[in-house]
Structure 1
Amino acid sequence: MQKPLAYRMRPRNLDEVVGQQHLVGPGKIIRRMVEARMLSSMILYGPPGTGKTSIASAIAGSTNYAFRLLNAATDTKKDLQIVAEEAKMSGTVILLLDEVHRLDKTKQDFLLPHLESGRIIMIGATTENPYITINPAIRSRTQIFEVKPLSELDIQKAIKEALADKERGLGEFPVVIEEKALQHLSRATNGDLRSALNGLELAVKSTPENEDKEIKISLSIIEECVQRKALTHDKNGDAHYDVISAFQKSIRGSDVDAALHYLARLVEAGDLPIICRRLMVIAYEDIGLGNPPAAARTITAVQAAEKLGFPEARIPLASVVIDLCLSPKSNSAISAIDAALADIREGKAGDVPDHLRDSHYSGAKDLNRGIGYQYPHNFENAWVNQQYLPDKIKNAHYYEPIDTGKYEQALHQQYQRIQNWKKGKKNAK
């Protein structure tokens, strides 16, 4: 039985890894480890199909170490013992341990000494946040790296390579793929290369040759094989981004009907991850301090939608879209942080004032660290007039309140009160 295309196209070395250049690109951490032959155990976490197994496979291929793959949830301690015995004989084994967050105490206790000795280099893979789900004993013996969703260009590159590769891919098939079909395949799988390659293989092998002896892959074939409809068959292929843009701008503009219309188009296309991400951005970028509880409700609705999946996910999504549309709007938070970032990027930073510096170490006093710091809680209103910004920008102002909701109106009042106190107006209310 032939293995799936995604399995066959796994990278044989770091140069063949698709995406993840922040980890495997020239001069980046994993490439440095491989080139220096100073590998250590690590945990890779991120969404499914983004390259965790591929990176482990590429590391093994680049170092010529033995490579074994186990699952922490389903494989037993005995399976780990077999890997350990192999490591004793061969020197080093790279073990990809999938679902590493489900490693129980018995298996963990067995693994720890082998990780300590470096005999087993464990590459744990998980979709869960390792800082929350991984046992501290394992976490302290590993480096943690985030694997990010692949871009459309990354996925298109991998698709083209699979279509051209005659040894491992689909190069023996006379495939002609329409540009719209390629574009949709790279978008509809939301950064999951495994899904994209699986959909491609199904499309190629289930489509008969036409009279020109070609296997022509159209948009409709890809829609069927990945079970995701394209937003529209537009000429330039921009509809995907146009709808997302219109969705956010309709909420920002408080047009409920338009926002629900664009939500429906995204729901019909099955783009749940994109909808959820965009709603969280909107909640903080456009609603922000105008109605902070709306952000919490958005997170709750997104979690419900992700748990439910379509078609039921449309219900919490519709509820939160209506909520965000009709909420007071404020972009003061994004404007403030962007103004602060602009100063940093222009070199306007300066030294941290001495009285704010860390003083919890021997010799700090001799360096004048922390001397003169006044603890605000010892003063009326938990406020004392002292300098916090560096001298270079001590008069900088970034936050400009917007009075579109009761919460930010209250923040504005407190902000103004503090500005008055700075000017010596002690009785300012």
Structure 2
Amino acid sequence: MQNEPLAYKMRPRTIHEVVGQQHIIGSATPLFRMIEKGHVPSMLLYGPPGVGKTSIANAIAGSSKIPFFALNATHAGKKDIEQIVMDARMSGKVLLFLDEIHRFNKLQQDTLLPHVENGSIVLIGATTENPFHDVNPAIRSRCGEILQLERLTGDDIIQLLNQALADKERGLGHLEIDITEQQIEKIANASNGDARKALTLLESVYYASDEKDGVTIINDNAIDALAKRIGVFGDKGGSHFYNLLSALQKSVRGSDPNAALYYLAHLLENGDLVAVCRRLLVMAYEDIGLANPSVGAHVQAATEAAVKLGLPEARIPLATAVVEMCLSDKSNSAYKALDSAIAAIHEGKTGDIPNHLKDAHYAGAAELGHVGYKYPHDSPLGTFGGWVQQQYLPDELAGTEFYKPVIAGEEKRMAAIYEKLKSFKK
């Protein structure tokens, strides 16, 4: 136990010791009551790193007294699974915690799944990835519940830190440590809701601080220096990264520059500059669109500059682009109109191109009836340019309107032109 990390030693031993995640395993939840009565269902635990997936599995094992085995799907092989199956046959039932379950391959599934189905193996799978995207449906169907864990609150983390400081058997309670409430709060804030990081940081800060007369005096500079090393929560390839991209776009769409810059900061700290630039460019046309067409060019220039500059300088043009998009007029009418046209095609609402619109740049086109096209530029219409009354859609779709203008920004002027031209049609 002496050489084990503090975060490992402080894992809850029973469901009564779990901190946080009260919506999943609090004393009032069905899962808590089931486990207390000796019934453990198969389940999937989904959530970011450090929020208690492994801890909850260990706590359930400690409360249920079912023989417990833990495997990581990244490293487990067929022999490991076969050994679990053999143990299940001998003991009648085992509890298997399978971390990184989204990496489970088909061979492992084929070996394990029948025994999960008949109840001889109770499976607790854990994943940081969205189980509806990354976990095989065969596994999902055999796990009665998909439980989404949340990042721990600041109060949860502070509670864990205080428990570690007080626990004389597993924590640091046997040591003389001078630490203030403000320092505990600073460690909690630096962990960003990750219990493992919080306890690891506390342990590191203890060893990095000076001792005087047998008392270790926690140093603020040690907290600040070590907090920078624990990294930003999330990774550039996982579900959390895509959640950040989604939050960024929805914040821009909602015209909240503070939230948008916060999520941009998270994304840039994760380091995938190309993915961020691609999303910003899509947003310029998806959410700003015709209400402010110049934004597309501005964002294009900003993202090109960002890629050329690289991080950390790339943050400067990207911040400008994000704030401009947040505070711009917004319209999604153009791409929504296109989606409506695509949907119509998929629904079979098609027809022949009118003859006068078909290609006529070859000898014999007139014999095929490809005649009658009126050249709009030959019919000036005030300052608009040129317009002429003729049908462009197939007969079967004549009169259909896919485009529904949004009366915002520059599109307000375009909408007026659109309505005026409609009034000219006979």
Q: 2: CA distance between counterparts of 1:330 and 1:10? A: 49
Q: Which residue pairs with 2:111 in the alignment?
A: 110
Q: Which one of 402, 408, 423 corresponds to residue 403 of structure 1? A: 408
- For 2:180, the equivalent position in structure 1 comes to 178
- Contact kept, 8 Å, 2:209 with 2:219, in 1: the verdict is no
* Contact 2:204 2:226 (8 Å CA) reproduced: yes
Check if 1:207 corresponds to 2:209: yes
Report the CA distance between 1:405 and its aligned residue: 5.7
1:188 corresponds to which of 190, 194, 205: 190
Q: How does 1:213-362 map to 2 (within 5 A)?
A: 213-227=214-228, 272=269, 289-290=287-288, 314-315=312-313, 317-327=315-325, 329=327
Structure 2 partner of 1:163: 165
Would the aligned equivalents of 1:48 and 1:127 in 2 still touch at CA under 8 Å? yes
Structure 1 runs (4+) deviating above 6 angstroms are 251-255, 292-295, 330-333, 377-380, 426-429
Number of the residue aligned with 2:102: 101
Q: 8 Å contact 2:201–2:226 — kept in the other structure?
A: yes
Compared with structure 1, are the counterparts of its residues 115 and 214 closer, same or farther at alpha carbon in structure 2 (3 Å cutoff)?
A: same
1:111 partner SS: helix
Q: Paired residue for 1:46?
A: 47
1:67 touches 1:95 (CA, 8 Å); kept in 2?
yes
| C-alpha distance 254-205 of structure 1, shift in aligned 2 (>3 A) | closer
Aligned partners of 1:214 and 1:271: how far apart in 2?
41
Structure-2 separation of matches of 1:253 and 1:136: 38
Residue of structure 1 in register with 2:36 after alignment: 35
Q: Which amino acid aligns with 1:38?
A: H
Secondary structure of 1:202's aligned partner = helix
Unaligned runs of 5+ in 2: 231-250, 332-395
TM-score by length of 1: 0.61
Task: Tell me the amino acid that sits aligned with residue 138 of structure 2.
Answer: A
Query: Counterpart of 2:78?
Result: 77
1:161 is displaced (CA, Å) by 0.4
**Distance of aligned partners of 1:263 and 1:41 in 2 relative to their CA distance in 1, 3 Å threshold:** closer
**C-alpha displacement at 1:40, in angstroms?**
2.0
- Percent identical among aligned pairs is 38
Between the aligned partners of 1:218 and 1:5, the Cα distance in structure 2 is: 19
SS of the aligned residue for 2:124 comes to strand
User: Match of 1:49, SS?
Assistant: coil
Q: State the one-letter code of the partner of 1:13.
A: T
Instruction: Please give the secondary structure, in 2, of the residue aligned with 1:144.
Output: strand
- Contact 1:92 1:118 (C-alpha < 8 Å) held by counterparts: yes
Aligned amino acid, residue 327 of structure 1 = M
Q: Say if 1:34 and 1:63, in contact at 8 Å, map to a contact too.
A: yes
Rate the CA distance shift 1:196–1:378 in 2: closer, same or farther, 3 A: same
* SS of residue matched to 1:182: helix
Structure 1 pair 157/404, CA: closer, same or farther in 2 (3 Å)?
Answer: farther
Amino acid at match of 1:323: A
- Residues in 2 aligned to 1:326 and 1:112: alpha-carbon distance in whole angstroms: 52
Instruction: For residues 59-78 of structure 1, give each alpha carbon's deviation from its aligned partner in whole angstroms, at most 9, with x where no partner exists.
Output: 11111112211011112111
Deviation at 1:45, TM superposition (A): 1.5
Question: C-alpha offsets along residues 6-50 of structure 1, whole Å, 9 cap, x if unaligned?
Answer: 111111112211211110113324324323443221111211111
Letter in 1 for 2:202: L
Cα displacement string for residues 183-233 of structure 1 (whole angstroms, at most 9, x for unaligned residues): 22111121111111111112213434224x32121321112233359xxxx
Give SS of 1:58's match. Answer: helix
SS of the equivalent of 1:191 reads coil
RMSD of aligned alpha carbons: 4.9
Partner letter of residue 403 of structure 1?
A
The answer as to whether partners of 1:176 and 1:216 remain within 8 angstroms in 2 is: yes
The 1:382–1:158 alpha-carbon spacing in structure 2 relative to 1, beyond 3 Å, is same
Cα distance, 1:224–1:120 mapped onto 2, change above 3 Å: same
1:148 aligned to 127, 131, 150, which one?
A: 150
The answer as to whether partners of 2:210 and 2:219 remain within 8 angstroms in 1 is no
SS where residue 181 of structure 1 aligns?
A: helix
Letter of the structure 2 residue corresponding to residue 90 of structure 1: S
**Structure 1 gap segments, 5+ residues each:** 230-247, 334-376, 384-400, 418-425
CA distance in structure 1 between the aligned counterparts of 2:398 and 2:55, rounded to whole angstroms: 57
Bigger Cα Rg: 2
SS in 2 for 1:137: helix
The 1:137–1:3 alpha-carbon spacing in structure 2 relative to 1, beyond 3 Å, is same
Tell me whether 1:129 sits opposite 2:134 in the alignment.
no
Instruction: Write the deviation string for residues 152-198 of structure 1: whole angstroms up to 9, x where unpaired.
Output: 11111100000000011110111122333222211112111111111
Cα separation, partners in 2 of 1:192 and 1:271, compared to 1, 3 Å: farther
Q: Call closer, same or farther: CA 1:253–1:12 in 2, change over 3 Å.
A: closer
Moved more, 54-63 or 216-225: 216-225
The offset of 1:126, in angstroms, is 1.2
Find the aligned partners of 1:26 and 1:330 in 2 and give their Cα distance: 48
Change (3 A) 1:317 1:135: farther
1:427 positional shift: 7.6
What CA distance in whole angstroms lies between the structure 2 residues aligned with 1:428 and 1:61?
Answer: 78
Distance 1:378 1:312, change over 3 A: closer
